[in-house]
Amino acid sequence: MLSTVSSNVVLSKARAMFGKRLTDEDYDELLNCRTVADAASYLKSNTAYGTVLAGVNESDIHRGQLETLLRRKFITDSAALARYEITVGEYFSNYFIRRLEVGEILHAVLLMEEGSSDEYVFYMPAYLTHHTHINLKLLSKLKNYDDLLAALSHTPYYAILKPFRPENGGQIEYSKIENSLYGYIYSLFFLIIKKHTKGETEKQLLDIFNSFIDLINYAHIIRLKTAYAASPDVIKSYIFPYGTVKKRYMNEMIEAKSEPDVRRIMGGTSLGKRVLKINYFYASEVAHSMNFKTCRHYIRFSTHPSVVMVSYVLLLEAEIRDIITIVEGIRYKLTPGEIRKMLVIINYRKGSD
């Protein structure tokens, strides 16, 4: 386990970074921005994101560049916490590094799909590059899927992604790639919990992830049924084999004919009775809002460094997701009210910050 000194550093550092989160006033100001440049300027001058936006001419920035810089904030903060575990040989640093790798891979694939691989700029602090599996320089030069596989050869990701190699110049199945990579990350996380934690640390980490994955599975079922009219067999291929919802309920939701039926079945579970009272715009928001509430509780009250580390990273991820949603809404000229409906944190923070 972490040494006492490292434990105290992780707890204090994570909570200090959490103290610099966006306020309700920040959200209101961002929602009232008229352009992406306005949003970038506000973040640069008034929030903790100023460190990653320093030196940037925000008047010329576009949505893709801003998202890349926001991702750098996620990488920097995650790495700052993981560094303390690396120094004492702990295990959750491995999870953070693999999670960062998956983010880099998915970002590179999206740019490759758009024909914009030249816009990929990898960023990982020097002390983490010695621990990463992937060749980040090769990842920045992707022209096709074979290049992707070559960049990931001799890593666990090669075997995961090889089955999705498109034939005869076919379209890349991004959603399947994303689901498979996150499946790998979740399996790694649960393995670490099982092998290297016990007591309250294990209980709290499982509390964070089991409910989140149950609700992600619930969102997958609804999205695949309503948006793609997917068959039960296709839906099953997207379900993560974790969580606490009984298999019987999961199978009933997969076989259900409509979204109201899925919601009714989920509402009959102990988890559903707790969380489906929330009004939401998209089903996936339920998972992220539940995760936000759980992690906000643990970052404040847990005394276990691994729990606080994980909570901070997931809270930061939620905040960055909200910022990107705001930027996308501004780009497509949605009203502040329309954008607000799609946000997680501002809608479910109850004035206790």
d(CA 85, CA 13): 13
Q: Kindly state whether residue 71 falls inside one of the protein's structural domains.
A: no
Residue 129, pLDDT score:
65
Residue 262, pLDDT score:
94
What is the DSSP track for 203-269? HHHHHHHHHHHHHHHHHHHHHHHHHH---HHHHHTT--S-SSS-HHHHHHHHH-SSHHHHHHHHHTS
**Looking at residues 52-60, what average pLDDT do you find?**
85
Please state, rounded to an integer, the average pLDDT across all residues of the chain: 87
For residue 41, the tally of other CB atoms under 10 A from its CB is 17
Residue 353 binned pLDDT confidence (cut-offs 50, 70, 90): very low
Q: Kindly state whether residue 190 falls inside one of the protein's structural domains.
A: yes
Residue 112, H or E segment: helix 92-113
CB-based contact 163:176 (threshold 8 Å) = no
Residue 90 binned pLDDT confidence (cut-offs 50, 70, 90): low
Residue 279 binned pLDDT confidence (cut-offs 50, 70, 90): low
Number of domains the chain contains? 1
Residue 130, pLDDT score:
65
- Among 38-52, 105-119, 124-138, the least confident range: 124-138
Q: Kindly state whether residue 176 falls inside one of the protein's structural domains.
A: yes
d(CA 232, CA 95): 31
User: Which amino acid, 310?
Assistant: V
Q: Kindly state whether residue 160 falls inside one of the protein's structural domains.
A: yes
Model-wide pTM > 0.85: yes
Residue 34, pLDDT score:
94
Contacts of 175 (CB under 8 A, 6+ apart): 238
DSSP code, position 34: S
Residue 56 binned pLDDT confidence (cut-offs 50, 70, 90): confident
The CA-atom distances, in angstroms, between 234 and each of 214, 218, 252, 287, 353 are: 18, 14, 15, 21, 41
Residue 334, pLDDT score:
95
Residue 149 binned pLDDT confidence (cut-offs 50, 70, 90): very high
User: Containing domain of residue 157, as a range?
Assistant: 91-196
Length of the chain, please? Answer: 353
Q: Kindly state whether residue 206 falls inside one of the protein's structural domains.
A: no
Residue 351, pLDDT score:
39
Percent of the chain with pLDDT over 70: 88
Residue 281, pLDDT score:
63
Q: Kindly state whether residue 75 falls inside one of the protein's structural domains.
A: no
Exposed/middle/buried for residue 98 (C-beta within 10 Å: 0-12, 13-18, 19+): buried
CB-based contact 280:223 (threshold 8 Å) = no
pLDDT tens column, 181-212? 999 999 999 999 999 889 999 999 999 999 99
- Among 73-87, 243-257, 260-274, the least confident range: 73-87
DSSP code, position 55: T
Dihedral sign from CA coordinates of 320, 323, 325, 328: negative
Q: Kindly state whether residue 15 falls inside one of the protein's structural domains.
A: no
